[in-house]
Amino acid sequence: MGFTNFPNGITSMGVPIAGSNYAGWWGKDVWFVDDESGSDGYSGNEPTQAKKTIQAAITAAGKADTIFLKPREIDTSIHSNHGYYTGTNIIPTGKTGLAIIGTGRGIGIGSAVQCMIEPDAASTDTTITVQSPAVTIENVGVKAVASGSGAIYASASVAQAYGLTVSNCFFKDYLGASSSVGSIHLVTTHWTTIQHCYFKECGVAIHHNSAVAAVRNIVIKDCDFVGAAGDWGQDIRLGDVTEMVIDSCRFAHAQPTAGTRKMYIDMLGTGGTGMISNCRFGVAATTQATVANLKGTVLMSDAFGSPAAITS
């Protein structure tokens, strides 16, 4: 049996494979970003001609394109010295279906940390602002500035930023438990999926509220919320959401003690409809009221504290 060799590896086929996401194969272009060796004056269409900044690649990209980020090298003598892609980034209208994907080595948190994004030191702006529909952000770490505007912000009040997918990402740093800002901050965005993400001491991890009408469909699944209880006010804070699903999430800290709400899952307004299932909470209590403030018609099934099942 003969073998076919590709001199440039999988990139000889035109598109690198990153994780399980093949977004971009149906778009016109794939873009590359390399903070260490790239230049915003380069074309950005191949690894050796990579853009330096994420924003330059976003500006150059069109609908359904994919942006791949090169992983930063990690200083093995200092485990936290992984370097950052620095700057605030806006995905404006007209970029429907754009995907930003980190290509860090390995899977999970380690891979996302190698493609860590943070705003400029003096900035209080959101790290990534989404203003187009059907955007995917995958396999990156996103840091928020304390007392700033969050790590990812999407609002249908500004533009139709519906259909957002955030997958296999890492979020860190405390925003303030009494703040109205979450690490992922959503305003009236429909059909959002947040999956396989890791949140560390965020104050409020996911904040989703409605400025116009009830939000339709939000899925939060297989996410981890970790850190000290004093660095959490609400892990998930939701307004009026219909068809909500929170499934297979792990809240690996004691009941939040910061701010005034002090709740793992906190629903505001009139509530919504949906299901909380297969979740675990780092608290010994067995009552729903201890872990979640539910409004509307929201069922809690197969959600566990330690060690007993949570009851109404």
Residue 94 lies in a domain: yes
Residue 215 has which token pair? 């939000």
Residue 66 lies in a domain: yes
Write down the mean pLDDT value for the chain: 82
Residue 290 lies in a domain: no
Residue 156 lies in a domain: yes
245-278 tens-digit pLDDT: 999 999 999 999 988 888 899 888 777 888 898 8
Residue 208 in contact with residue 239, Cβ under 8 Å?
yes
Rounded Cα gap, residues 170 and 139, in angstroms: 8
Residue 102 lies in a domain: yes
Number of domains forming the structure of the chain: 1
pLDDT score of 145: 73
Residue 308 lies in a domain: no
Rounded Cα gap, residues 198 and 195, in angstroms: 9
86-103 tens-digit pLDDT: 889 999 999 999 999 999
pLDDT score of 189: 87
pLDDT score of 13: 45
Rounded Cα gap, residues 50 and 32, in angstroms: 5
pLDDT score of 283: 81
Residue 5 lies in a domain: no
Residue 197 lies in a domain: no
Strands 272-277 and 99-102: unpaired
Under the banding of pLDDT at 50, 70 and 90, the label for residue 288 is confident
User: Which domain does 27 fall in, by range?
Assistant: 18-173
Mean pLDDT for the stretch of residues 151-156: 87
pLDDT score of 7: 45
